[in-house]
Amino acid sequence: MAKTILVVDDHLNVRNILKFNLQRKGYNVLTIDDGGSVLPMVMKEKIDLVLLDIMLPDIDGFKVLDSMKAKGVIDKSPVIVLSAKGEESDILTALKKGARDYVVKPFNFEVLYSKINRLLHTTMDTSVASTKEEEPKARVMTLGRNIKHAILIQITAEFEEDEANELEENLNPLVESGWTNICIDFKPGIKVKTIAIGKLVKIQQEIAKRGGVIYLIVRDNEIETHFKEANFAKYFTIFKSFDEAFSLVSTENT
């Protein structure tokens, strides 16, 4: 049976473009232009995914997330925020309020579709919990099954001790809110200082105490070699791409 996606956006052209393209991909699509109608519709209809704008004419998307979370429907109807508001604070706020992902407008539909497809077809089996006895690979499998507790952080500039300290400050409130699976994506070509990697290990150890894990996306062979030469690679599961992590999950579960 085709899954149903609810598109919430006050711009008619955005609603029409998304409806046209998602229907071509085989999804049922419902569209509305205000935030106040989201909760009643989610509670009445079987909505498998909500694409939610933040800037709406009545109530903003953050309040919609709050109302869905309060009524306990944000898990059965997960939300991807699709908004022109692209500040880091907006993204973190949406994720802390329960959104599963965040896409900034203007968007590439195929990129958005890959996120939708991954979210709707990832097994949401939370029966396998990570434990201290599990290998890091197993914890990544749990991440794939329980994606709502995952957050992606991109490192796009030099990663030195100050940046590591700032990362720790940003992670602490997220971890306290339940975001215990952290994916850190290192942009190719940046410089990564050994002392910053050591700090990252300490952050990893603190998160592990709360049942979480940090895993790394390292596309640059030089950065990966630096991790290994610093003898820190053993503390992390390292992937070459975000998709590789989830293909591992699929492979391990076939």
Looking at per-residue pLDDT, the higher value among 175 and 136 belongs to 175
Measured in Å, how far apart are the chain's first and last C-alpha atoms? 22
Question: At 249, is the pLDDT very low, low, confident or very high (cuts 50, 70, 90)?
Answer: very low
CA distance 169 to 158: 17
CA distance 88 to 243: 23
CA distance 40 to 9: 16
- How confident is the model over 23-49, as a mean pLDDT? 95
Contact 233, 201 (CB under 8 A): no
At residue 49, the pLDDT reads 96
| Token pair 């604070």: residue | 89
Centre a 10 Å sphere on the Cβ of residue 80 and count the other Cβ atoms it contains. 19
pTM of the model: 0.53
At residue 70, the pLDDT reads 95
Strand order in the sheet with 28-32: 28-32, 4-8, 49-52, 79-83, 101-104
Q: Each residue of 76-94: pLDDT tens digit?
A: 999 999 998 878 788 888 8
The helix-helix angle for 88-96 and 161-176 (nearest 10°) equals 30
At residue 47, the pLDDT reads 96
Mean pLDDT for all residues in the chain: 80
Q: Each residue of 160-217: pLDDT tens digit?
A: 888 888 888 777 777 776 677 788 888 888 888 888 888 888 888 888 887 778 888 8
- The percentage of the chain sitting over the pLDDT mark of 70, rounded to a whole number, equals 82
CA distance 10 to 6: 13
At residue 37, the pLDDT reads 95
Tokens of 150: 């995952």
Report the phi/psi class of residue 231: left, alpha or beta, with left for phi > 0 and alpha for psi in -120 to 50. Answer: left
CA distance 154 to 152: 7
Give the H or E element holding residue 39: helix 38-44
At residue 245, the pLDDT reads 61
